Amino acid sequence: MSEFCNVLWLNASPSLKGLDKPLLHYLSKHVVVARWEYFQTKDEACSLDAAVALLYDFLKSHDRPVHLAGHGMSGAIALLFARRYPQKVRSLSLLAVASQSANTWQAHYYQQRLLFPLSREQVLVNSVRTLFGNQSPANTKKLLTALIRDLDESPTPHSLFRLIHLPKGGVSMPMFVCGSNNDPVVSPPELQDWQNWLKPEDILWECPKGYHFFHYFYPQQVGEQMLSFWQRFTQNPETTQNSELSLSVE
């Protein structure tokens, strides 16, 4: 593929960004990949609109549309951005994003807190097991710490007081949607619900396993599918003339 096929990977979960590294490392061997990160302090109100606005500020000076991609809540932000600023997005790739894009791991956490008389730590320990499969005690402790941080640092709109919903629907640009067959957050039926909004040029792909963070466990398989999706755009002069994006941290 052309080295000027610009991909912008979104990350709104700083404590979990290490889980993206295997996939980004694989993709960077074939395409230019930039990473945009959103950091939210504890003093800031959780706002997806604020993240979308900051992303626009980053991209408004870039004169060519980019291939936008993200996982989970980051993918939900990418989806909102693509609907609001379609002229800035060449294609959209969503990993572990349900057609109801507010259905994130954080939403599942708060649902369990509301349904069961369990402490925060008890629910999060269970979440480690369901999101990542059985892990060693050392890994479980590290992942538990990362999930606790993500609840505080990601712009999740959910809380113990309310669970929000976002508008369902597709986008105007080509879209790649993928999930895992054993993801407890975006289950196969929820993934297949995207069929209601797919266009002929869109792709829906399911990884055989890997839980919610399947792109960490199977970076090559996921990367190959994404590269195949982007391959169709490399012959487009508008795409191959893109100038390279620089790495930015927001």
pLDDT value at residue 235: 57
Cα 42 to Cα 48, 154, 155, 210, distances in angstroms: 15, 10, 10, 31
pLDDT value at residue 238: 42
Beta bridge partners of 91: 67
**77 and 47 co-located in one domain:** yes
Distance CA 67, CA 70 (A): 10
CB contact at 8 A, 244 and 8 = no
- State how far Cα 143 lies from the chain centre: 18
3-state secondary structure the chain: CCCCCEEEEEECCHHHHHHHHHHHHHHHCCCEEEEEECCCCCCCCCCHHHHHHHHHHHHCCCCCCEEEEEECHHHHHHHHHHHHCHHHEEEEEEECCCCCCCCCHHHHHHHHHHHCCCCHHHHHHHHHHHHHCCCCHHHHHHHHHHHHHHHHHCCCCCCCCCCCCCCCCCCCCCEEEEEECCCCCCCHHHHHHHHHCCCCCCEEEEECCCCCCHHHHCHHHHHHHHHHHHHCCCCCHHHHCCCCCCCEEC
Structure tokens given for 87: 């002229």
Does residue 225 fall inside a structural domain?
yes
**63 and 141 co-located in one domain:** no
Does residue 218 fall inside a structural domain?
yes
Instruction: Indicate the residue among 153, 187, 218 that finishes a domain.
Output: 153
**76 and 37 co-located in one domain:** yes
* Domain span including residue 109: 105-153
pLDDT value at residue 44: 59
pTM assigned to the model: 0.90
CATH code for the domain of 198: 3.40.50.1820
**75 and 19 co-located in one domain:** yes
**23 and 92 co-located in one domain:** yes
Does residue 236 fall inside a structural domain?
yes
**41 and 70 co-located in one domain:** yes
> Chunked in runs of 10, what are the mean pLDDT values of the chain (250 residues)?
70 96 97 91 72 95 94 97 98 98 95 92 95 95 96 87 91 98 97 97 98 98 98 58 32
Instruction: Indicate the residue among 119, 153, 187 that finishes a domain.
Output: 153
- First CA to last CA distance, the chain: 28
pLDDT value at residue 109: 95
Instruction: Indicate the residue among 125, 153, 181 that finishes a domain.
Output: 153
**91 and 123 co-located in one domain:** no
The conformational region for residue 169 under phi > 0 = left, psi -120 to 50 = alpha, else beta, is left
Distance CA 62, CA 52 (A): 16
Given the DSSP bridges, would you call strands 66-71 and 89-95 parallel, antiparallel or unpaired? parallel
Does residue 1 fall inside a structural domain?
no
Does residue 40 fall inside a structural domain?
yes
pLDDT value at residue 240: 34
**80 and 172 co-located in one domain:** yes
Question: What number of residues does the chain have?
Answer: 250
pLDDT value at residue 3: 43
